[in-house]
Structure 1
Amino acid sequence: MSVIEAVVFDIGNVLVEWNPRHLYRKVFTDEARMEAFLADICTMEWHVEHDRGVSFESNAAPLKERHPEHAELIDLWGDRQLEMNAGPVPGTAALLSKLKQRGVPVHGLTNMPSPVFPALCERFPELCLLEKVVVSGDEGVIKPDPRIFEILIERAALDPRATLYIDDSQRNVDAAVALGFRSHHFRDADGLALDLVRLGLA
């Protein structure tokens, strides 16, 4: 089996905690009403178009036409989307930093709207340690589509067989494995740390 020569991190819920509830708990006083809003109106199926590169304005317009009584709450998604990122995932930044110190190339591959990643880099300096970062909103294609992995392979000159891919989504992990990557299905930093030791990276 190939020696690991590079590591690729997903960002949301691997390096930075992301959940729209971090924002909407600030404006809803009733948890059940918030959950209904996120299940029926601002759904993940709706949001994924932002990750695909569709602007918030164009994606929100038909939604607000269908739900005019919730227009202000819908607009919060675009106006205050950075508040959906609560903080660093405990422990992962330290592992990223140690890999960097050992001279292991570290890259990023994320489903994320285009404007969000630069803002997150200002807030979470550890993201600046990533060398090549492919953001779905910039490319118009989202994981688990193989095309976005292939973009990173080309830009970072990766050999998937010698690259560890880390993601909290099993679908994305499966897509990486299908392309030849070694993989880690992320649950917490302790589990990742054990896998890095097993692979000779720590």
Structure 2
Amino acid sequence: MQVEAVIFDIGNVLIEWQPENFYDREIGRAARTRLFSEVDLHGMNDRVDLGHDFRETIYGTAAANPAHGDAVRMWHDRWLELARPVIPQSVRLMRALQARGVPVFALTNFGIGSFELARTEYDFLSEFDRAYVSGHMGVIKPDVRIYEMVEADCGIAPERLLFTDDREKNIAAAAARGWQTHLFEGPEGWAARLVEAGLLETAEAA
């Protein structure tokens, strides 16, 4: 089935998202392990991704966990250091597709405030033909509703969408809707899939 649009996740597809690595560097692995076991930082981030206020959510979590307050607040205050580095080949693939006239969308679990902050650092986040950001949508992957909302907005048949994401559950939910999918495990595999789909030539995907 011919692909009419390609959909990129952002975290761990276009930008590395491994907050544990940041905290390992800043406070050491043992302290980081204790922090993440005692404070549900990923659950906190899910609330941000659902549209809750970026600063209030994180600072509220810090206030509720005073023993870890300084470390929790870094999730907000030094967020750009958590969301890095860029995955350069993935950005090149995105732009190569667009140069070919292939629409490229984002479908990402991302907060409203954090996404706007990321756009100040990463210009390619403003280059999508359509950006589906969970914070604005009020729902996060892999909830079926987010995929339904994308389909309704773009008007493209599910089987003509090609979606890549680094999380199996997000890929499985899209595949259940009939989307073509690729589990992102690195840009080389994604490049090969785009060539296989006839969307890019090998040289363009390098």
Q: Output the TM-score relative to the length of structure 1.
A: 0.91
Q: Which amino acid aligns with 1:16?
A: I
Identify the match of residue 160 of structure 1 among 135, 158, 161.
158
CA distance in 1, matches of 2:68, 2:25: 16
- Please give the per-residue CA displacement for 1:15-65, whole angstroms capped at 9, x wherever unaligned: 11112134424531x211112212321432332111111224246425533
Contact 2:48–2:111 (Cα < 8 Å) also in 1? yes
DSSP-derived class of the 1:87 partner: coil
DSSP-derived class of the 2:52 partner: coil
Contact 1:42–1:74 (Cα < 8 Å) also in 2? no
Q: Does 1:19 align with 2:36?
A: no
Match of 1:123 in 2: 121
Aligned-residue identity in percent: 34
Q: Output the TM-score relative to the length of structure 2.
A: 0.89
Structure 1 residues 29-68: aligned runs within 5 Å = 30-56=28-54, 57-58=56-57, 60-61=59-60, 64-65=63-64, 67-68=65-66
DSSP-derived class of the 2:26 partner: coil
CA distance in 1, matches of 2:61, 2:114: 22
CA distance in 1, matches of 2:15, 2:183: 16
- Structure 2: state its 5+ residue gaps: 201-206
DSSP-derived class of the 1:158 partner: coil
Match of 2:199 in 1: 201
CA distance in 1, matches of 2:90, 2:165: 12
Identify the match of residue 83 of structure 2 among 85, 92, 97.
85
Q: Which amino acid aligns with 2:165?
A: D
Q: How far off is 1:156 after superposition?
A: 2.1
Q: How far off is 1:86 after superposition?
A: 1.3
- More displaced, 92-101 or 14-23? 14-23
Contact 2:58–2:72 (Cα < 8 Å) also in 1? no
- More displaced, 123-132 or 140-149? 123-132
* Matched pairs, number: 199
Q: Does 1:3 align with 2:10?
A: no
Q: Which amino acid aligns with 1:54?
A: H
Contact 2:44–2:61 (Cα < 8 Å) also in 1? no
Match of 2:203 in 1: none
Q: Which amino acid aligns with 1:8?
A: I
> RMSD in angstroms over aligned alpha carbons?
1.7
- More displaced, 46-55 or 17-26? 17-26
Q: Which amino acid aligns with 2:87?
A: V
CA distance in 2, matches of 1:84, 1:154: 33
Q: Which amino acid aligns with 2:102?
A: V
Q: How far off is 1:150 after superposition?
A: 1.7
Whichever structure has more helix as a proportion of its residues is 2
CA distance in 1, matches of 2:155, 2:121: 28
- Please give the per-residue CA displacement for 1:90-127, whole angstroms capped at 9, x wherever unaligned: 41011111100110010001001111222222322222
DSSP-derived class of the 2:162 partner: strand
